[in-house]
Amino acid sequence: MKLWRPVGRNELAKIEASGMRAFPPRLPEQPIFYPVLSFEYAEKIACDWNSVREDHEYVGFVVRFYIDDAYASRFPEQPAGGKDCQELWVPAEELEEFNRHISGRIELVAEYRNGVRSEGAHADGGENA
């Protein structure tokens, strides 16, 4: 299953520190890890939320990764708005196991600054990528 995740600079740094192979543990106030099912939804969060906030240093990113289908089926798709706003809800205590089911590396596919996509930085984020 192909999934995306909108991330800020701090989370991206932790993903990079893992060799682009794992997501960092959740903070105590974050009981759920939310990967999303479409690039468009991840882009909306990274662009409209992360990249316009001072606490995110006005930058947001989208990463793409693959997880084996059998394992992913443990987490029912959850609606988070419109039909393109679907996500998986992974309990924080299961994130380490979730990371073990990631196939290959987590890929940085898009970058946004102050609500605008940084052209040329990562141009392969869409559904066909």
Q: What is the CATH number of the domain that holds 96?
A: 3.20.170
Q: What is the tens place of the pLDDT at every residue in 7-53?
A: 999 999 999 999 999 999 999 999 999 999 999 999 999 998 888 87
Q: Is residue 126 assigned to a domain?
A: no
Cα separation, 103 vs 5, in Å, equals: 15
Q: Is residue 128 assigned to a domain?
A: no
pTM score = 0.88
Q: Is residue 124 assigned to a domain?
A: no
Cα separation, 54 vs 106, in Å, equals: 26
Q: Is residue 15 assigned to a domain?
A: yes
Cα distances from 21 to residues 13, 53, 63, 111, in angstroms, run 12, 27, 11, 19
- Average confidence (pLDDT) over 111-127: 71
**β-pair partners for 68:** none
